[in-house]
Structure 1
Amino acid sequence: MSEKQPTVSFTQMKDGTREDYELLDTLEKPFVAGTADRLLRELAAQAEETLSGYRITRLEHGLQAATRARHDGADRDWVVAALLHDIGDRLAPQNHDRMAAEILRPYVREEVAWVVEHHGIFQMAYYALHYGWDPEERQRFKDHPCYQSCADFCERWDQSSFDPDYPMDPLESFADDVRVVFARKAYDPNVLQAGVVKGLPDPVA
């Protein structure tokens, strides 16, 4: 019979002791360390529970986008962001872009998190007209330093990744990259590189 997991003494946070919070800190560390594997399981679940109507699953869309980024020689931040950019679709279909950005934000370059956060608005350029919406909604960000990065991300890696015949790399081939990114110290200034805009690498023909 397994030992009972230790628990805190309080039922209201304001009554917690130093020992309680030291216990929680100890238990949190392995849970945080498992973030990458939980994200990989969530991606795998998108193969079954997915938005209908498309010719590929949401998992395949992420794999295609990440494969395109990898093919272009993009750095790890871009590849992982391309893989995870729609990971919010199952739980936050009306806010999926911002959900994905918040998952990534502590661990990737600031530019990359901004692009993921805003890719939903930028994607409207391709379909908004069909719903009577403004396809130029992205223009309110035209003076932002990351505008072109987001426009390029959408054009090259996102909107183009709905092709059932595209030879996408398998999920397990991205697992190490995801684990490396989410093993970083959260909000490390050397990772976030605030104010740095590198843009996407030149496309590979």
Structure 2
Amino acid sequence: MYHLIKGIYYELTREDEYSVLILGLDNAGKTTLLEKLKSIYGSGKEVNPDKIVPTVGQNVGHIRINSINLKLWDVGGQDMLRTLWKEYYAEAHAIVFVVDSTDRARIEECRHTLQTVITDEDTEGIPVLMLANKQDRDDSLEVEDIKEIFNRIAENLGARDSRVLPISALKGTGVTEAADWLTVRLARNRQYRPPDKR
């Protein structure tokens, strides 16, 4: 009897959780973004940026925003690790693609990489939020210039929700706006890709 009651209680108290992939080329600021989100919506503890190292493999964070539970997957962006991204697509509810606005030399590689991600059948229909990171730096591309570059793949996005927003993951500028946009789209898209239970 105890196990039955415990099982019923467990089922009744489980909450919805959405998995969000944080992707982008290496050095785009994905881990800095994850740590900033955790400090704002999670523990409240800031991580010294000097202590953040390149991700080899993955980092995972759990946060709650606007009563929505998120499991954030920060996956390494080095060329050899990008082939592993596909393993995460089927379970993802949204993709946050981080662009280094100062890396002009690799902006086309970045565009091509995002195009590969959004044309995979396992990512079809899920929201895509592209973040033009490092907007606090003087040498960064303007958001309008980045939008123009990525408009060439807009037809691949189809009818799904997508947006380009400026942020500075280091300073936190634009991070809460990005999180708000994301949570609204996740809730809106729950019929297409229902949340997991945790």
TM-score, normalised with respect to structure 2: 0.30
Higher helix share: 1
* Structure with the bigger percentage of strand: 2
- What's the TM-score once normalised by structure 1's chain length? 0.29
